[in-house]
């Protein structure tokens, strides 16, 4: 939330690196030591001049983009030679960018080398097997001049040979995304966002935007003639595994519910989110408070849909359809979603995207609340609502706005104290990159490097205020979602996921079998994991929906904390955090050694507290 919907990929490049000059004595000079990079803000920021608007480049001949690609590739080669980047996710993005640039140059033989480098840095089983495979096959098709029938067969063969238990998430989500690919949707998205970035910047854009344009152009080049073949190949893999034995459910046996007549005390759980339909829950005496996207007081605890209210039945179906499509479920809602995307024209994309963003914000907080209080009749819900911007055009960041949001953090946490809140769930996350993206959209901050510095300064105003507010409420346990970008919360400096405080716990996502999801962010602050894959919960009005994300994993931990506090009210926030950590089990990694997933065990944590769940 609160970030421009642009994937902020680092810039890429190609140029020969000069050999070190020989010493006068004739001995070879040692290469200069590379600069160690441990945070994203230590990497350089650059900009590129575009020869035309992004949406125009989507349809332009590939040769039009070639000079831009060469410049980007040269910068990437230099960066990889200069910096020792201590973050696998960032390196994967850089290598993937080089693969894309090799595609644009028609250097199909070079593509597998770059995807192999990226794949070698994957540490999740499914990603280590499946990432970059389709890219390799498309490159091989071009190199060997194969037809679509060959591609379909190879997709089915390559993915079909992989262990289904490990790659089913990747196969299903890839199929869902490629099946709904519509070049008009991509063109409309570029018109709505990147064209504006280019116009505002007098046709000079951040490297990340230039890379997105090239990526979109190559996607069009390769997918348009091959979309049906790829989808049918992946569908064959899905069909072949319809009767595959489900992986064991490690999650459900760990959970427990509190009986309504148990000797327990009411506990107030705050849902700091996009809004909650309190009519579905037992609200706290103080029902909550709300602020708008700029931190100003607002009235609505459930986000109003405004003029989109009349479209809510359709939007609800589209949200469900998008989730079903991602899971490769051929439901009526999934078919409706596919039909809606297939029929979109470029000029309709802005309105459709804003409707979907609004619907997502509308359901998110209520869905989270349903998970947080499930099985706990003693839970009372307090809504801390933030009316985040759902428009294509992001808010304009400046110091006054950052200060207002910082002050809002203090007011919100003071509201928790006044309402006797014991547990707060925070299923949201962003970092300074969100500020950089917003500033780039509005062409604020000067040069790319100056913009980076200003973005971090504004972000720190918010970060420091949030950290102080949480630290100043030691009686409350705050639970945060790690994020859904398969990257490091440490490297990117996120809030709240990157904060380290005695009364804060950050949660990553696994599926019901305890395997880390492909999307879950990680890092030293991500200390526990919970089920965050296709979790069933309530949405406004009382219907139910399955959603995935660390947004769904975090309230599982908040749920456990609230149950422990209800059953044993004398427990402090720090004690509850310790019980959750001590009860969690370290899951084995791919090599059989203890991995980074530490799956919570609600029953065991309750037993450690002397309770009998």
The pLDDT averaged over each successive group of 10 residues in the chain (613 residues) is: 30 26 35 87 95 97 96 96 95 97 97 97 92 97 97 97 93 92 95 96 96 97 96 96 87 97 97 98 98 96 95 91 77 87 93 94 97 98 97 94 98 98 96 94 94 96 98 98 91 92 97 92 94 95 93 98 98 98 89 86 97 88
CA distances from 495 to 5, 275, 479 (A): 18, 19, 12
CB neighbours of residue 309 within 10 Å: 11
- Residue whose entry in the numeric block shows the structure tokens 């959750």: 580
The helix (H) or strand (E) run that includes residue 379 is: strand 379-387
Strand partners, 526: 506
CA nearest neighbour of 251 among 517, 521, 538: 517
CA nearest neighbour of 14 among 95, 69, 62, 84: 69
CA distances from 326 to 174, 375, 514 (A): 8, 28, 20
pLDDT the model gives residue 508 = 97
pLDDT the model gives residue 328 = 64
pTM: 0.91
Residues in the chain: 613
Q: Residue 199 in contact with residue 119, Cβ under 8 Å?
A: no
pLDDT the model gives residue 588 = 83
**What is residue 206's DSSP assignment?**
E
The H-assigned helical ranges of 528-568 are: 550-567
The H-assigned helical ranges of 493-532 are: none
């Amino acid at each position: 939330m609160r970030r421009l919907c642009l994937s902020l990929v680092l810039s890429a490049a190609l140029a020969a690196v000069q050999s070190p000059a020989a010493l006068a004595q004739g001995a070879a000079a040692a290469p200069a030591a590379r600069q160690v990079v441990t945070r994203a803000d230590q990497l350089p920021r650059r900009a590129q001049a575009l020869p035309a608007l992004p949406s125009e480049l989507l349809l332009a001949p590939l040769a039009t983009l070639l000079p831009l690609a060469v410049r980007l590739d040269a910068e990437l080669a230099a960066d990889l030679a200069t910096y020792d980047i201590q973050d696998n996710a960032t390196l994967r993005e850089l290598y993937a960018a080089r693969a894309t640039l090799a595609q644009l140059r028609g250097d199909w033989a070079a593509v597998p080398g770059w995807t192999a480098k990226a794949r070698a840095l994957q540490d999740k089983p499914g990603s280590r097997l499946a990432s970059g495979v389709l890219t390799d096959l498309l490159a091989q098709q071009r190199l060997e001049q194969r037809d679509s029938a060959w591609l379909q067969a190879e997709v089915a063969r390559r993915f079909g040979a992989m262990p289904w238990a490990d790659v089913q998430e990747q196969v299903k989500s890839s199929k869902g995304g490629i099946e709904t690919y519509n070049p008009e949707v991509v063109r409309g998205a570029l018109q709505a966002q990147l064209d504006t970035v280019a116009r505002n910047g007098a046709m000079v854009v951040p490297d990340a935007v230039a890379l997105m344009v090239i990526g979109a152009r190559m996607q069009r080049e390769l997918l348009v003639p091959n979309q049906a073949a790829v989808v049918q190949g992946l569908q064959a893999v899905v069909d072949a595994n319809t009767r595959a034995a489900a992986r064991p459910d490690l999650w459900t046996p760990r959970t427990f519910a509190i009986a309504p007549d148990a000797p327990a005390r009411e506990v107030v759980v705050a849902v700091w989110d996009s809004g909650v339909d309190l009519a579905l829950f037992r609200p706290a005496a103080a029902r909550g408070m709300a602020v708008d996207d700029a931190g100003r007081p607002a009235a609505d605890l459930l986000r109003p849909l405004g003029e989109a209210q009349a479209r809510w039945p359709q939007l609800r179906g589209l949200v469900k359809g998008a989730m079903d499509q991602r899971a490769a479920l051929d439901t009526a809602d999934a078919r409706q979603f596919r039909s809606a995307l297939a029929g979109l024209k470029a000029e309709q994309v802005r309105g459709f995207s804003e409707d979907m963003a609004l619907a997502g914000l509308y359901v998110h907080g209520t869905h989270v609340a349903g998970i947080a209080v499930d099985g706990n009749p003693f839970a009372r819900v307090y809504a801390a609502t933030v009316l985040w911007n759902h428009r294509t055009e992001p808010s304009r960041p400046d110091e006054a706005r950052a200060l207002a949001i910082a002050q809002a953090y203090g007011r919100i946490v003071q509201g928790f104290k006044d309402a006797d809140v014991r547990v707060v769930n925070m299923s949201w996350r962003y970092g300074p990159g969100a500020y950089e993206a917003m500033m780039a959209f509005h062409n604020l901050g000067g040069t790319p490097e100056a913009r980076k510095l200003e973005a971090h300064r504004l972000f720190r105003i918010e970060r420091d205020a949030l950290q102080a507010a949480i630290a100043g409420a030691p009686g409350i346990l705050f639970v945060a979602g790690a994020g859904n970008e398969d990257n490091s919360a440490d490297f990117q400096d996120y809030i709240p996921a990157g904060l380290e405080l005695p009364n804060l716990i950050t949660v990553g996502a696994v599926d019901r079998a305890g395997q880390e999801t492909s999307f879950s962010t990680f890092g030293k602050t991500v200390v526990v994991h919970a089920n965050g894959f296709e979790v069933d919960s309530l949405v406004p009005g009382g219907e139910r929906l399955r959603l995935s994300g660390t947004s769904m994993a975090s309230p599982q931990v908040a749920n456990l904390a609230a149950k422990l506090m209800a059953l044993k009210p004398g427990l402090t926030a720090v004690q509850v955090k310790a019980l959750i950590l001590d009860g969690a089990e370290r899951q084995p990694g791919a090599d059989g050694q203890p991995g980074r997933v530490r799956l919570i065990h609600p029953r065991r944590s309750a037993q450690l507290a002397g309770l009998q769940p």
